[in-house]
Structure 1
Amino acid sequence: MRYILLLLVLITTPLSAQFNWTEAEIPVRDGKSLAADFYSTDSTKAKPVILVQTPYNKNLYRLASQLPPEAVTTFPLDEAFHYVILDWRGFYGSRDAGVAGYDRGLDGYDAVEWIAAQPWCNGKVATWGPSALGAIQFQTARHHPPHLVCAVPLVKDFKVKYSDYYYGGEYRKSHVEALQKLGFFVTSLILDHPTNDFFVKVVESGSDYPEEFNVPMLVVGGWFDHYPDDVLRAFEDIRTRSSAEVRDQHKLIFGPWTHSGVDKAEQGELEYPTGANVVNFASLQFFHYHLLNAENSWQLKPTVRYFQLGKDRWMEGDSWTGVVAKTSPKSFYLRNSGVLSTNSIGGPDFPPVTFRYDPRDPSPTYGGSYFDPFNKDAAVGPYDQREVVESRNDAVIFSTEPLEQDLDVTGPISIELFVSSDRKDTDFGVRLCDVYPDGRSMLLTQGIRRMRFRDGFTPQDTSLITPGEVYKVTVELQNLAVTFKAGHQIRVIITGSNYPHFDVNPNTAAPLYQSPDSLVAINSIYMAPQYASRLVLPVPQASGVEHQNNINASSLQAYITPNLLQDRATLSLSLPTRSNIQIALFDLSGHQVSGSWTYQLEAGEQEIPLDLPTLSAGIYFLRTIVGEKVTSLPLVVE
């Protein structure tokens, strides 16, 4: 028997290998029907059902190894549940049901209620899915289907807004064009509204409805996703504005993931072993708790769990805003020598730094939150910027000296620049990197700002600049939880473009996206005393992220190492103080399947060999109690 540390079941093999599937036609209120597949290990038993609504072709789930990255890469399979995979109205098997402008949330309602009425359903239905499959869950939940019990939307916000398609006023070119290829809309609709105008605000207002959510939600986001800030904001809205009966039941998991890389260890050119296989295990615990009334301690899980990059640790909090509230801004000032310095004193010996931006040869996108599901070789996530970006002559680079001690950063990041250009409009793009002692310059996040939008994004805010005049412009980056380790450097790369993640600015005064020509711009960054260009990082007020989040709740780190040759496993612990440890093994329903072990351990790194009982194949969790801290670790038996 093998014990394997695994929090999810990867669908790299056909679902049909474990589950039998049958086709179904689900009738909806306008007289049409939607194509679906019903998956079950035993359809004679009434079980809770997990509904997945997809625009990416339900048939791919029959042979899941062929799933495209924009669809889904992991799936919370468990024989305790049945599953229904449904094609969206207007897509694939439901193509003939397409009706322009129809509210697909109503289809979700109708599907939930049809499922609940089937003899193989016990009357309880949940929803699950990432990206577009997450958006449809919000749209379904707002209509209150009576038999919907809970939802797990991953890497998606419920609100449609200007910043979905424009970042700092710059068109998210590759992202929007990919959405058009996927069949969601045409790019002309987005390009017709390059400002945050009345039409865009009406759309945003109509999609802002967290008050209408009345079921518990497990929300998931990633630091290398397209919209980490939007998922964080969405969860805050759900926690504070949803139905009062469920506000305290929502939970957030935020990991080191790209959009299509949730639950994977490998992200870009880095690996985060403790970030792997987290969400599916949590999803199954969530489903067992809400759908099967399992006593599995789900309610004791922290409201917010987030991954601290650099330290590669999971942290906890009651809310993300509460975590950020315990930080203070720390400034790193740009110097023309290429240094980022905490010394704010400038002088006349700090003349501006000038660089050339040619729209016909833009600085290339390499990694980050880039989105192109049609290019399997696209670099996404943390990538070394030295060869592709930093080696070019259109990049200006600023770095700290190697840090003498760890620096924790938790919250929104920005850079304030004082700039000028010889053109009436241009862009300033920023990339933030963690430079390793071996020289690797690993991208963490990126942003951009179009100068005509320096004062805001409404039509009234926009104005061209005067060539040669100095302006202050803020480039908003994103929220991050990252620790720059001792010996590492913090680096900022400034360019005039980041293509094709963002469209190029032609450097003309022409109306937006209507200029057939382009001009080369000579752009300058100022650093004299009156022009304090600086990077602003949110740094915890106390020493260390763990302390500011309650050391008992955050500093315990634990993981299981499997031994494939014996019926044994090793529990590794990192303890802040001498502690009493209680350990027991449970199944997903919360039933204890082993005796309890008790240990008294000294502070530091500790390992406990575990003699495990003979178990049938399935997913279990090891409950570890240290003081008031309860940690659940997954264990899969094959």
Structure 2
Amino acid sequence: MKHIYEPDVTMTMRDGVTLAADIWRPLEGTAPTLLVRTPYNRQTPTMYGGPGTPHPSLIGLVNAGYAVVLQDARGTFGSEGEFEPKINEIADGQDAADWITRQDWSDGTIGMYGASYMGMTQWALAIKETPGLKAIAPTMAATDWYSELWYSKGGALSLSLDTMWNVMMYANEEQRDLASGRASDPATLIRLGGSFLNVLSLNDATPVADLPVIGKGRWFDDWLAHPDFDGYWAAQDWSPLVSSVEVPVLAIGGWYDLKINGTVSDFIRVRTQGASETAREDSRLIIGPWEHGPLTGQYADRHFGPLGVGDATEAHITFFNQTLRNLAPESPAPRVRIFVMGIDQWRDEQDWPLPDTSYTDYHLHSGGSANTRHGDGTLQSAASSMAGHDEFQYDPRDPLPTAGGALLPSVPGLVGPVDQKVVDGRSDVLCYTGPVLEEPIEVTGHVELKVFVSSSAVDTDITAKLVDVFPDGRAINLCDGILRLRYRNDLSNPAPLTPGEVYEVTVPMAVTSNVFLAGHRIRLDISSSNFPRYDRNTNTGGFIAQESVDQAVIATNRIMHGPEHPSRLVLPVINR
């Protein structure tokens, strides 16, 4: 299809601010338009997509008959105004959509696509009635910015993400200010840019609220000032509004993506509560063996083969052809398509959660005597008949280092599937391992740990990690989670612990899909830190972001088990 490329097209928002866009449109006639709104520079090569990236091929979309509009968000790169995360995206997005529908090359229908923040800009228009919007395709995105992004479902700060992302955004802003003459001191940009030489070192400084490299503060200060899910976060939480969505959604995520909980939760809400039959019936979910970024499925300790490499283009074209053009495919796209690790194969499913899910308890047992200070425990189908506990000390000055999982920045050896030998043997990790499997066991769905715990401190964290132990000794992580115990009852109402008192708590461990093959073993690792993926709890019960690690106290934490304290790992087992 012949098309015209128009760079640097300006659109004026309702308040007079001008935003910049690049446009690919048909040479003749009209076409449905695909809109991408980004704060990461519309002209970067990754925006053009293709195999191995979270974005579909822009040229592939254009050749399929679509107009494409890439727009810089307010206050970023070519667009005027001041950037504030999320604040202006509804109004600006609606104004951009209105501008598009009034162009003579537009057929009046709009779809949206894009990953991460660009997924959020799609939800911004879908939760509000936006004329012309017919479908969205958010990749690795979430509507709940507290528990699915800047903090966690268990209330811990997503430290490495928050520091990296804010330094990146402030550096971009400082570069704009210098180029336009609004800033006269290049030292700030040098400081911000230099931090990327060792971005993980940003997380070593305490108090976190005094992180010197940030400098500008603003929204980063606000996030740290609101560690609880209070009114500040409730005002930004769009997840309750997903039930008002009337357009179908193509949700794409990765098992090792930091937003996978939100990706799945938002799909479920649209599927079960969407405001139209079209939204409920035509929405789709795709999950691959990916982190937050490249869709390669290739890691040093685990390679998912050629099928693990993702190409989002075909799925987008099929979805938009159906939702924007009413072109039914020869064979309908599956409602759910997942990559099942272990067997390393793609599989089509009827729905999510999988209809044949059986939530199965794997009980924690001590490996030795009834009361062990540290040692290898076991996972068994039956609850322990002997009361006991396992104990470890958590020292915030020596936190357990992150070893795989959903991490940003994407550092090789720290993100995705990683052999746990890098943390095995530490005295602050309890390992519970099941027997060698005689038959495969598939685990697909939401994983959680229900555990009875006590602590010598008034607050501490409990972390849990699901691990696949291979016959050759490799121990590869699948999913994990954290619970800040002050939030054991409610993210909005923190409550201190009574030292020594036993509490039953639930640690959310995200979602996964893995077949534990014959000869493998299922393992659960429990600790009290995962640093720098999450901030370290100082165990004082105080305002963690404002405390120095020198103020921290050591916590002695106990995991209870037995008839009165049936601590257990709950796995979504698929019986077929």
Q: Would the alpha carbon gap of residues 105 and 423 (structure 1) be closer, same or farther in structure 2, given more than 3 Å must change?
A: closer
CA contact (8 A) 1:330 1:539 kept: no
Q: Give the drift of 1:62.
A: 8.9
How many Å separate the matches in 1 of 2:300 and 2:114?
22
Choose from 483, 486, 490 the match for 2:518: 486
Residue 446 to residue 19, structure 1, CA distance change in 2 (3 Å):
farther
Task: Identify the range of structure 1 (485-494 vs 475-484) with the bigger mean alpha-carbon deviation.
Answer: 475-484
Distance 1:169 1:96, change over 3 A: closer
Unaligned runs of 5+ in 2: 171-217, 369-375
Matches of 2:292 and 2:523, distance apart in 1 = 24
Structure 1 residue 225: Cα displacement: 1.1
Q: Percent identity?
A: 31
Q: Is the 8 A contact 2:56 2:316 kept in 1?
A: no
Note the C-alpha offset of 1:86. 0.4
Deviation (angstroms), 1:87: 0.1
Deviations 1:530-574 (A, max 9, x none): 33322121223x3x3xxxxxxxxxxxxxxxxxxxxxxxxxxxxxx
Give the AA of the match of 2:468.
Answer: D
| CA shift in 2, pair 1:284/1:368, >3 Å | same
Structure 2 contact 479–511 (Cα < 8 Å) conserved: no
Distance of 1:422 and 1:210 partners within structure 2: 41
Query: Displacement, 1:410?
Result: 2.4
Seen in structure 2, the aligned counterparts of structure 1 residues 335 and 221 have a Cα distance that, compared at 3 Å, is: same
CA contact (8 A) 2:400 2:531 kept: yes
TM-score by length of 1: 0.73
Query: In 2, Cα distance between the equivalents of 1:293 and 1:104?
Result: 28
Q: Is the 8 A contact 1:422 1:521 kept in 2?
A: yes
Are residue 124 (structure 1) and residue 155 (structure 2) matched?
A: no
User: Who is 2:34 aligned against?
Assistant: 50
Q: 1:341 aligns with which of 379, 402, 406?
A: 379
Helix, strand or coil at the partner of 1:110: helix
Equivalent residue, structure 1, for 2:184: none
- Tell me the secondary structure at the aligned position of residue 240 of structure 2: coil
- 5 Å-filtered alignment, 1:472-621, equals 472-516=504-548, 517-540=551-574, 542=575, 544=576
When residues 191 and 83 of structure 1 are mapped into structure 2, their CA distance, relative to the original with a 3 A threshold, is: same
For residues 428 and 418 of structure 2, the distance between their equivalents in structure 1, rounded to whole angstroms, comes to: 19
- Residue pair 2:48, 2:56 contacting (<8 A) in 1 also: no
Cα distance change, pair 20–424 in 1 and its aligned pair in 2 (3 A): same
CA drift of 1:412 comes to: 1.8
Partner of 1:332: 363
For 1:150 and 1:174, locate their aligned partners in 2 and report how far apart those are by CA, in whole Å: 33
Q: What displacement does 1:330 show? A: 3.0
For 1:342, the aligned partner's letter is: Q
Alpha-carbon deviations, 1:68-112, whole Å to 9, x = none? x9x955535321223211000111111336589853222222222
Which residue in the other structure is 2:176 paired with?
Answer: none
Structure 1 residues 391 and 296, CA, compared in 2 at 3 Å: closer, same or farther? same
Equivalent position to 1:92, from 74, 77, 86: 77
Between the aligned partners of 1:101 and 1:453, the Cα distance in structure 2 is: 26
Partner of 1:365: 402
Matching residue of 2:349: 317
- Does residue 28 of the first structure (1) align with residue 13 of the second (2)? yes
C-alpha RMSD of the superposition: 2.9
The verdict on how the C-alpha distance between 1:416 and 1:190 changes in structure 2, with shifts beyond 3 A counting, is same
Superposed, 1:68-217 pairs within 5 Å as: 74-78=56-60, 79=63, 80-96=65-81, 103-162=88-147, 164=149, 165-183=151-169, 186-204=219-237, 208-217=240-249
Task: Describe the SS at the equivalent of 2:486.
Answer: helix
1:216 is aligned with what amino acid? P
Q: Does 1:354 align with 2:338?
A: no
Which amino acid is the alignment partner of residue 157 of structure 1?
Answer: A
Q: Which is further off, 236-245 or 125-134?
A: 236-245
1:108-161 Cα offsets, whole Å, 9 max, x none, are: 222223223334434333211011101101112334343333221111123444
Listed one character per residue, the Cα deviations across residues 164-207 of structure 1 (whole Å, up to 9, x for unaligned) are 31342322211222342344963321222222334433443x66
> What is the letter of the counterpart of residue 553 of structure 2?
L
Alignment match, 1:250: 283
Q: Secondary structure at the match of 1:235?
A: helix
| Shift in CA distance, 208/352, structure 1 to aligned 2, threshold 3 Å | closer
Q: Residues 60 and 489 of structure 1: is their aligned pair in 2 closer, same or farther, counting only changes over 3 Å?
A: same
Is the 1:305–1:317 contact (alpha carbons within 8 Å) kept by the matching residues of 2?
yes
Deviations 1:320-361 (A, max 9, x none): 13x25642323232323424232535355x743222221111
**1:129 and 1:310, CA in 2 relative to 1: closer, same or farther beyond 3 A?**
same
Q: Name 1:576's counterpart in structure 2.
A: none
Is this contact kept in 1: 2:285–2:336, CA < 8 A? yes
Q: Does 1:384 align with 2:369?
A: no
2:458 touches 2:496 (CA, 8 Å); kept in 1? no
Q: Please report how far the alpha carbon of residue 395 of structure 1 lies from its aligned counterpart in structure 2 after TM superposition.
A: 1.8
Q: 1:429 to 1:102 in 2, by over 3 A?
A: closer
Distance across 2 between alignment mates of 1:191 and 1:48: 42
TM-score (norm 2): 0.81
Cα distance change of structure 1 residues 536 and 328 upon mapping to structure 2, 3 Å threshold: closer
Residue matched to 2:175:
none
Query: CA 1:358–1:324 in 2, change beyond 3 Å: closer, same or farther?
Result: farther
Question: Who is 1:286 aligned against?
Answer: 319
Cα gap change, 1:217 to 1:425, in 2 (>3 Å): closer
Aligned to 2:464: 430
Q: Label 1:19 to 1:392 Cα distance change in 2 as closer, same or farther (>3 A).
A: farther
How big is the shift at 1:211?
Answer: 4.0
Task: Assess if the C-alpha contact under 8 Å between 1:106 and 1:143 holds in 2.
Answer: no
Q: Which structure would you say has the larger Rg?
A: 1
Distance 1:450 1:400, change over 3 A: same
Contact 2:361 2:568 in 1 (8 A): no
- Work out whether residues 219 and 252 of structure 1, in 8 Å CA contact, stay in contact via their aligned partners in 2: yes
The CA deviation at 1:435 is: 0.9
In 1: Cα distance, 2:543 partner to 2:130 partner: 46
In the comparison of the two structures, how many residue pairs are matched?
511
2:189 counterpart residue number? none
Letter in 2 for 1:435: V
Moved more, 212-221 or 425-434: 212-221
Deviates more, 1:114-123 or 1:95-104: 95-104
**Cα distance change of structure 1 residues 108 and 198 upon mapping to structure 2, 3 Å threshold:** closer
Shift in Å at residue 446 of structure 1? Answer: 1.2
Q: Distance in 2 between matches of 1:333 and 1:314?
A: 32
Q: Distance in 2 between matches of 1:113 and 1:202?
A: 25
What CA distance in whole angstroms lies between the structure 2 residues aligned with 1:343 and 1:211? Answer: 38
AA paired with 2:455? S
Instruction: List alignment gaps of at least 5 residues for structure 1.
Output: 1-17, 545-638
Deviations 1:236-287 (A, max 9, x none): 211233332423221111222212134x232563233323235321111112
Contact 1:356 1:522 in 2 (8 A): yes
Verify: 1:398 aligned to 2:429, yes or no: no
C-alpha deviation, 1:227, in angstroms: 2.5
